Structure 1
Amino acid sequence: MLTASTTTHGMDSDHGPFDVHDFWRKSAFSLPGEPGQTLFSDRHLEIPLIDHHFDAGLRLPVIHDFQFGTLDGLDANQEPDRSPSLPAPSTSTSLPSDLDDLWKLDLTTPTKHVPLRTWEAFAHQDHTESPISYLSDAGSRAFDALQPNDSNLLRSAFALKCLALLGLGRSSTLFQWKEEAKTFAPTLDNLRLSGLSSTAFDSIVHRLTTIGCAFVDARQFAMSSYVNKHPLAARVALATTIYAVLEALDQNLSDRVLTAESSLRLLACFDTPAILLAEIRGLITSTSGATTDTAFLSACHDTLDRFTNACSPFQSLHAEILNHVSQPWFQSIYQKTGLTHYHFELPIQDDILDHSAHISREDNAQITEVMTGIAVLRDSAPDHPLLYPAVWGVHSLSLELSSTAMDIDRIVDKANKYQKDLLVAISKYNSGGSKSPDADTRPQERHLVSEQLPWSLDEGQQTYFEDVGTRFSEPPVNMDTSNIRILATGILEACKTQETSALDLRHLAKTSLNHLQPYLQVQSRLLNGTLLRLFFRQFSLRENLTLNHSFHLLGNGLFVQHLTAALFTSESNARGLRLDNRSKQWPPASSELRLGLMGVLSEAYGSNDIPGNLSFAIRELGDEEIEKCLDANSIHALDFLRLRYEAPTPLNAILDDTAMAKYDDCFRVLLGVLRMLHFVTLLRSTAQQKHSSAPTQAFAHEAWSCVSGLASYFFDIAVAGPWKDLQRTLDTIEADLTIEDAEGTFGQRVTFGISHLRNKHSDMLDTIRSRLFLRSRHDKLRSLINDVFACVLNVQVDAHNEYELWKQRNELKARISRIVDALQELTRKIGKKKNLSQQDRDDIFAVEVLGFRLGGGQI
């Protein structure tokens, strides 16, 4: 590391920071420069012929006067395939001065003056080299004779066959499978093959034992998957493919390994199969903890994808295995999306999309939407052509399940033909046409008749044995694995002949829906158009939405009027709960509540037959919330009251439990605001009387301004704005559907389904809840608003104590000021964000509007 002084000096020099002035200075560790004081003090070589003429013989010649010399000793008439005769040996140890005489150097005759040096000779000058002997030249018997006598020597042919069986995962005379230890164990101790040491033989046994155990594990997995009482469909499919791979391995290995002539050749036969077996073993291990078909398939995909990233030579085989394992999952997708009505032998669980990491999020959403649409259509129109196309003359689809290379254009043509036929069937259905007379709705099942049974049975026994006979006449799994065996055999043969010259860099794609995507798009398009027409025209979606807006969101003025009279009226002769005059006995009994609210809904709706069985009910509350309801003067006194609405099928796909819970939250808040409006209206009426004092009028005016401003924001901005936006969306959808009907098209202008409609409705409710300050971020603001309401409800209007009234009025203004401060704090928090969400924009809008309602100007 450079010090500060060094760095400064370097920067100030003329040659830059990396200039070294004394670069060529000799090292401090070098020897003195006197002659003979070097590391190699004597350059005397042990070849005297070269040593005496070192300078002359190895000096480069002068280029100007250099001439090639002649090579003596070559006979011009010598045959080309014979070597030239060597010059006669020379006993002279001196080299002539002529450079050409160097070629007469005799290097073939050893001399006692040219010794060959070894490391031992350098250390000891009197060292005598011993003659070299190699044990391998004497054969395996000589090697065996030098080994310890405590080992059992095996004959080569017999031992190689036992080793071959070990590698194939089969027991033999020398190696037996131990079920408890899950491995192979030798039947004799200290085994050794002739010509090999015990260490080398143990290494061979260890490697072949690993391969053999992988064979056994794969076979046991395949068998255990079949005998399981309730197997996973994907596990059975994997077991079938593994069994096919094992058959290919047995066929490829058995003939070669049993005729191997040496241990090296035997090990070479297992090189490629060992890689495949290790990958199969890893696949079995990674899927062992899966409890659902979807999780099993996802684990399969992740494992095979890891093998592909490791450049496995079996990538094409892995792709085919993945397709076979995916077959039950795809079959379930076909069934639940209405693309087929054939019931396959191994049904998959209902959670086919739960934790489905092997497909993309977009495909997951599309499949979920189609599945939901099919379920809704089955409940609302059970005889629709989309559910039973064969009944209406539409030919069933022939679905490709296990082909890795498919012609997408051909599948698209089939999907277009399927769409065209379905459009004709839907048009016939909508016009009231009849079904196809020769359509067969279900596949014929083969059963044994009573005449084929060996004895006479009653009806129950006959049915039982017919089912048993049918099951025994069918294969356990209807899956063709011939292509798996062919593909595995081809890869093994190519590796055996070393024909795998190119590295396959193609990445194994996910369990894709390429062959299903065209059918899904057609099904989604036709299903969405069908359901939207049913929802708007047959099941009155807009009427039910308007009903919830009128009552849950208090959008019906007549309902607000009747509800106010039933809950808050102070007249003793009027029917109602008279909340304003109650200080005890609250909440009312169920019979009194039912009597007080009787007729409110039917009078507001105009009929007793209200959709969804809309009625008043009691809300389930916790102990703390119940305690707040007991106080009639609390803003929470009416929290126990709710509206119950049950959306009819199939509208419950949009008006589901989640949506109704949001409606209930809004009704709870708006009912409290309605009570506050009624209370401040009575307070202002009292203050406008002649005998009212100035502080009473001031408090009533302040309370009226605050409550009416909040109520105006809640009803006119928080509720009315999002509701109008939803109505405009519904108007556009209905107009587009009408245009499609006029043009004779389907799914061209309206391309979304009920999920999009449900999301729009849910977004409306979320916006209303956000503007009603029902988010968790609004807890402080919501608490301050309740404090203002509590201050107004607990006011003591006493004309003889004006000081107390002025104090209450100042307290009310202080609490209103805290609301304004909370709004400003909310704006400051949002202003620090770079990207604003919809909730942030709603909060900014609320702050701007309430600035005029509460503060008299914009905040």
Structure 2
Amino acid sequence: MLDTLHHQKRPTKTTTELPLIDSHFDAELRLPDIDTFQFGKLDDLSLPEEPEQEASISHHKPSEPSLSGDIEALWKLDLNTPDNVSLRTWEAFANEHHVESRVSCISEAGPRAFDALQSHDTDVLQSAFTLKCLALLGLGRSSALFQWKKEEKTFVPTLANVRLSGLSRTAFDSIIDRLSTTGSDFAELRQFVHSSYANKHPLAARVALATSVQAVVEALDQNLSECVLQAPSTLQLLAYFDGPAVLLAEMRNLVDATFHAKTDTIFLSVCHEVIDKFTNACSSFHSLHTEILNQVSRPWYQAICQKTGLTRERLDLPDQDDILESSAHISPHDSAQIHEVMTGTAILAVSAPSHPLLHTASWGIEQPDLETSMMNTDIDRITKKADKYQQDLLAAISRYESGDSKPHGAETKEDFDDLTSEQLPWSLDQAQQTYFEGVGTQFTQYPLNQADASEIQLLVANVLKDVDGNQDVSRLDLHIPTTTTLRRLQPYLNVQARLLNGTLLRLLFRQFSLRDHLTLNRSFHLLGNGLFVQHLTTALFTSEANTHGLRLDNRSKQWPPASSELRLGLMGVLSEAYGSNDIPGNLSFAIRELGDEEIEKCLDADSIHALDFLRLRYEAPAPLDVILDDAAMSKYDDCFRVLLGVLRMLHFVTLLRTTAQQKDSPAAVQAFAHEAWSCVSSLASYFFDIGITGPWKEFQRTLDGIEADLLTEDQEGCYGERVRISVSGLRDKHNDMLDTIRSRLFLRSRHNKLRSAVEDIFGFILGVQHNDLATDESLLWQQKNTLREKIAGLRDILHELTRKVGKKKDLASQDRDDVFAAEVLGFRLGDE
């Protein structure tokens, strides 16, 4: 290739827009002869000093420099450029005769020239001194130029009509406003910390927030003090405060929002709501807010751990009676689960105080290492630890149920923790006792965790490095963190809930005989015991001389009976029906509390409400009172009140039918007795068969399934694997069953019209016995027809209820049950 280049003789014709070098272009760009080429001495690139060369150059026009001599002279820099030639603008390059106009820039003359143009009614401050005062203002500290006014909660300038050199009065006031806002946030947050610590009875969550705020303020102060005090200009000073000002404003917003919170739970809920707003607004400090929320949640978190039995540490925490009320920071499902575990733990403490679930350390079970930090929470690791905790608990429960004792040495340690002042080997007077109790309280409190404060300070420092005024939108973290306060506690709560449910269900069914108590209330409150119904009917209605009953059939005066007569008439009814005087729950007759209107109805012995004052009193023993609670017993009482009236009607129509079956009984009497008997017996069979027996059998099948699953779990050696229902779930099923019974007995408000029609029929039938109708058959036939009309009216109401429910697009379970009950009762009343 080199030979080819060497023998190439034809020149290349190249033209350029510069005519000065066009004639020399071809010759100078030809490749040299490689065989004879050698490097020569490099020329000096400095300016030429020979006068002859300068003279030769001066004979040519500036626009056409001479290229005679060595071609390298083209690249020599001529610093002696004529005055009429400009090398700065495109205009001068295009037009050699263009003359630039002179422009005066006042900024190039320095701040003194700017100050000279300003009005003379303001004083000019020194830059270095003023910048330091402005820096102190931004840090929330008083200085010679700005003083903090506590009453006004703002910084006030000490000098009026002043400005900084190089700035107008408007610009200087704007800088003061920005830094004053930041400084006020600093000062207010410091005051919040001081007042929270000085309060004698502060909220635990408020103190936790004050600790976090103090760490944030100290971190900002530490990271800003050195740089802002050395800021060379106001622009640089404002740039230092850009990120911290946003953080301080968010912290101030959080503190102000929680000012009116009266309980720890409400305080924590407000914190969650405010921090959620920051997160949704893509705050650059969401990681810091998450850690602050963790610190504020710690007292609540510790209270949850204590009340759910996950920790046995004796911490001096405030009362948390409302621990689950107004809790916007937890879901309804989590709230229900926590409440279930808390209730179960309290029940177990009364029922089985030595159970391993209550004394994990005594049974050699390692206490859960509960995570207290939200940062880098590893849920998988927590789940594995919770599984190990469950296995240890299951082994301890198995030993406990088999009758094994606690591991050696554990019981002594725990008993020592429970010693009271009376058990100590020395006696103390009241003052000494108070002193030692105070010292004990101080030792049970958590000291200030410096590691937590350092972590927050580290977060502040790291976040401030990433936050600047020119942050790219693509760098913003738009992901909303899903880590909540309960997320790291959830695996342990699930374990605790399963084991508690399994333990309590076994206690309720096996040790405390839940089904026996349910059967007792079915037999007496719902009149499911035939012997009790017989004895009660005799005691209340029979008029035979050899009985000691109340004889309601023959009493038109002196009603209701005196308390002594009532006790004598009902004596032995319950014990004879139960078969023993030792009745569970201290079941006994009592007087129901009634209003004035209800008392008026009771005074009429011929009214269907004559026995409304009589009730059954039952007190469920612990822990059965969780299932048979006050709400459930109130529903039982409502049903007993209605069924007592049905029992009276059955007794009355039975006597009426017996009278009508006599040989000399008129046809009208027989017809009326048959119509009354048919109506009352149909209603009674509906009440007992459809209203009570159906829902009760369905509930019994549920109980049978639970007991069968518990037995299977015992055989398989597991807890909570097959039986997932909780104690509260079982209570809800029992209450749902009672609600269904009440609905079918027409005790809901939606059934007022239907219930009034039934009571009207009962009252009409009872009123016939006091009319001497045996000699007036025409009147008796008229009463029979009236009764039929009332029954027809009842059927019409049932049809109306069915049509009304049928118009709904979506039928609820209650609507479907109403349709079923109306159709069955209508059929039994002879509906075609």
Q: TM-score range by the shorter chain?
A: 0.7 to 0.9
- Residues 698-753 of structure 1, C-alpha deviations (whole Å, 9 max, x = no match): 21111111110000000011100111111111111111211222222222221222
**How many residues get paired?**
750
Q: Give the root-mean-square deviation of aligned CA atoms.
A: 2.8
Tell me how far apart the structure 1 counterparts of residues 752 and 440 of structure 2 sit (CA, whole Å). Answer: 66
Tell me how far apart the structure 1 counterparts of residues 367 and 713 of structure 2 sit (CA, whole Å). Answer: 27
Partner of 2:765: 792
2:272 to 295, 301, 308: 301
Partner of 2:95: 107
Q: Which amino acid aligns with 1:412?
A: T
Tell me how far apart the structure 2 counterparts of residues 185 and 798 of structure 1 sit (CA, whole Å). Answer: 102
User: Residue 585 of structure 2 contacts residue 618 of structure 2 at CA under 8 Å; is this kept in 1?
Assistant: yes
Tell me how far apart the structure 2 counterparts of residues 286 and 105 of structure 1 sit (CA, whole Å). Answer: 67
1:816 to 791, 799, 806: 791
1:462 to 406, 422, 432: 432
Partner of 2:324: 353
Q: Which amino acid aligns with 1:564?
A: T
2:518 to 540, 545, 549: 545
Partner of 1:852: 827
Tell me how far apart the structure 1 counterparts of residues 321 and 150 of structure 2 sit (CA, whole Å). Answer: 37
| Farther-moved stretch of structure 1 (377-386 vs 340-349) | 340-349
Tell me how far apart the structure 1 counterparts of residues 286 and 111 of structure 2 sit (CA, whole Å). Answer: 43
1:413 to 373, 380, 384: 384
Residue 346 of structure 1 and its aligned partner are, at CA, apart by: 3.3
1:288 to 259, 264, 272: 259
| Farther-moved stretch of structure 1 (286-295 vs 301-310) | 286-295
Tell me how far apart the structure 1 counterparts of residues 358 and 449 of structure 2 sit (CA, whole Å). Answer: 25
1:669 to 642, 647, 652: 642
Residue 105 of structure 1 and its aligned partner are, at CA, apart by: 11
Are 2:236 and 1:246 aligned?
no
CA, structure 1 residues 466+606, in 2 after alignment: closer, same or farther (shift >3 Å)?
closer
Percent same amino acid among aligned pairs? 65
Tell me how far apart the structure 2 counterparts of residues 711 and 749 of structure 1 sit (CA, whole Å). Answer: 40
1:718 to 691, 700, 706: 691
Tell me how far apart the structure 2 counterparts of residues 183 and 458 of structure 1 sit (CA, whole Å). Answer: 54
1:153 to 116, 124, 127: 124
Tell me how far apart the structure 2 counterparts of residues 668 and 486 of structure 1 sit (CA, whole Å). Answer: 70
Q: Which amino acid aligns with 1:435?
A: K
Tell me how far apart the structure 1 counterparts of residues 729 and 596 of structure 2 sit (CA, whole Å). Answer: 39
User: Residue 618 of structure 1 contacts residue 641 of structure 1 at CA under 8 Å; is this kept in 2?
Assistant: yes
User: Residue 298 of structure 2 contacts residue 372 of structure 2 at CA under 8 Å; is this kept in 1?
Assistant: yes
* Mapping 1:543-622, distance limit 5 Å: 543-622=516-595
User: Residue 676 of structure 1 contacts residue 707 of structure 1 at CA under 8 Å; is this kept in 2?
Assistant: yes
CA, structure 1 residues 573+272, in 2 after alignment: closer, same or farther (shift >3 Å)?
same
> What is the TM-score normalised by the length of structure 1?
0.83
Are 2:785 and 1:804 aligned?
no
Residue 343 of structure 1 and its aligned partner are, at CA, apart by: 2.2
* Mapping 1:311-330, distance limit 5 Å: 311-330=282-301
- Residues 92-135 of structure 1, C-alpha deviations (whole Å, 9 max, x = no match): xxxxxxxxxxx999634259xxxx9xxxxxxxxxxxxx985443
Where 1:624 maps in the other structure, the secondary structure is helix
Residue 281 of structure 1 and its aligned partner are, at CA, apart by: 0.7
CA, structure 1 residues 596+408, in 2 after alignment: closer, same or farther (shift >3 Å)?
same
- Residues 263-307 of structure 1, C-alpha deviations (whole Å, 9 max, x = no match): 111111100000100100111111112211111111111111111
Tell me how far apart the structure 1 counterparts of residues 437 and 449 of structure 2 sit (CA, whole Å). Answer: 18
Tell me how far apart the structure 1 counterparts of residues 791 and 322 of structure 2 sit (CA, whole Å). Answer: 52
Q: Which amino acid aligns with 1:747?
A: G
> What is the TM-score normalised by the length of structure 2?
0.86
User: Residue 147 of structure 2 contacts residue 157 of structure 2 at CA under 8 Å; is this kept in 1?
Assistant: yes
User: Residue 323 of structure 1 contacts residue 404 of structure 1 at CA under 8 Å; is this kept in 2?
Assistant: no
2:481 to 486, 491, 508: 508
Partner of 1:764: 737
Tell me how far apart the structure 2 counterparts of residues 629 and 183 of structure 1 sit (CA, whole Å). Answer: 73
Tell me how far apart the structure 1 counterparts of residues 541 and 585 of structure 2 sit (CA, whole Å). Answer: 27
Q: Which amino acid aligns with 2:274?
A: T
1:200 to 171, 184, 187: 171
CA, structure 1 residues 491+688, in 2 after alignment: closer, same or farther (shift >3 Å)?
same
Partner of 1:399: 370
- Residues 785-820 of structure 1, C-alpha deviations (whole Å, 9 max, x = no match): 111111111112412222221222122111111111
Partner of 2:726: 753
Are 2:455 and 1:483 aligned?
yes
Q: Which amino acid aligns with 2:808?
A: K
| Farther-moved stretch of structure 1 (264-273 vs 218-227) | 218-227
User: Residue 242 of structure 2 contacts residue 469 of structure 2 at CA under 8 Å; is this kept in 1?
Assistant: no
| Farther-moved stretch of structure 1 (189-198 vs 158-167) | 189-198
Tell me how far apart the structure 2 counterparts of residues 475 and 781 of structure 1 sit (CA, whole Å). Answer: 63
Partner of 1:840: 815
Tell me how far apart the structure 1 counterparts of residues 122 and 332 of structure 2 sit (CA, whole Å). Answer: 63
User: Residue 92 of structure 2 contacts residue 98 of structure 2 at CA under 8 Å; is this kept in 1?
Assistant: no
Where 1:344 maps in the other structure, the secondary structure is coil
Residue 254 of structure 1 and its aligned partner are, at CA, apart by: 0.4
User: Residue 272 of structure 1 contacts residue 495 of structure 1 at CA under 8 Å; is this kept in 2?
Assistant: yes
Are 2:681 and 1:696 aligned?
no
Partner of 2:40: none
| Farther-moved stretch of structure 1 (687-696 vs 786-795) | 687-696
Where 1:387 maps in the other structure, the secondary structure is coil
Are 2:606 and 1:633 aligned?
yes
Are 2:633 and 1:660 aligned?
yes
Tell me how far apart the structure 1 counterparts of residues 654 and 440 of structure 2 sit (CA, whole Å). Answer: 80
Residue 311 of structure 1 and its aligned partner are, at CA, apart by: 1.0
- Residues 30-71 of structure 1, C-alpha deviations (whole Å, 9 max, x = no match): xxxxxxxxxxxxxxxxxxxxxxxxxxxxxxxxxxxxxx9963
User: Residue 174 of structure 1 contacts residue 186 of structure 1 at CA under 8 Å; is this kept in 2?
Assistant: yes
Tell me how far apart the structure 1 counterparts of residues 763 and 419 of structure 2 sit (CA, whole Å). Answer: 76
Tell me how far apart the structure 2 counterparts of residues 634 and 503 of structure 1 sit (CA, whole Å). Answer: 78
User: Residue 627 of structure 2 contacts residue 734 of structure 2 at CA under 8 Å; is this kept in 1?
Assistant: yes
- Residues 523-582 of structure 1, C-alpha deviations (whole Å, 9 max, x = no match): 111111111111111001000000000000000000001111111112234211111111
Where 2:467 maps in the other structure, the secondary structure is helix
User: Residue 552 of structure 2 contacts residue 605 of structure 2 at CA under 8 Å; is this kept in 1?
Assistant: yes
| Farther-moved stretch of structure 1 (827-836 vs 674-683) | 827-836
2:305 to 334, 337, 351: 334
Q: Which amino acid aligns with 1:826?
A: L
Where 2:358 maps in the other structure, the secondary structure is coil
1:685 to 658, 663, 676: 658
Tell me how far apart the structure 2 counterparts of residues 382 and 182 of structure 1 sit (CA, whole Å). Answer: 56
Residue 471 of structure 1 and its aligned partner are, at CA, apart by: 6.4
| Farther-moved stretch of structure 1 (362-371 vs 597-606) | 362-371
Tell me how far apart the structure 2 counterparts of residues 446 and 765 of structure 1 sit (CA, whole Å). Answer: 46
Q: Which blocks of at least 5 consecutive residues in structure 2 are unaligned?
A: 1-13, 30-44, 48-59, 66-90, 421-426
Where 2:148 maps in the other structure, the secondary structure is strand
| Farther-moved stretch of structure 1 (740-749 vs 821-830) | 740-749
| Farther-moved stretch of structure 1 (478-487 vs 767-776) | 478-487
- Residues 406-447 of structure 1, C-alpha deviations (whole Å, 9 max, x = no match): 222221221121111111211111121111222232797999
1:708 to 676, 681, 686: 681
Partner of 1:390: 361
User: Residue 591 of structure 2 contacts residue 613 of structure 2 at CA under 8 Å; is this kept in 1?
Assistant: yes
Where 1:698 maps in the other structure, the secondary structure is helix
Residue 691 of structure 1 and its aligned partner are, at CA, apart by: 2.6
User: Residue 73 of structure 1 contacts residue 87 of structure 1 at CA under 8 Å; is this kept in 2?
Assistant: no
- Residues 603-648 of structure 1, C-alpha deviations (whole Å, 9 max, x = no match): 1111111111111111111111111111111111111111111000
Tell me how far apart the structure 1 counterparts of residues 435 and 632 of structure 2 sit (CA, whole Å). Answer: 51
2:238 to 267, 281, 285: 267
Are 2:467 and 1:495 aligned?
yes
Where 2:260 maps in the other structure, the secondary structure is coil
Tell me how far apart the structure 1 counterparts of residues 707 and 256 of structure 2 sit (CA, whole Å). Answer: 54
CA, structure 1 residues 702+401, in 2 after alignment: closer, same or farther (shift >3 Å)?
same
Tell me how far apart the structure 1 counterparts of residues 159 and 831 of structure 2 sit (CA, whole Å). Answer: 101
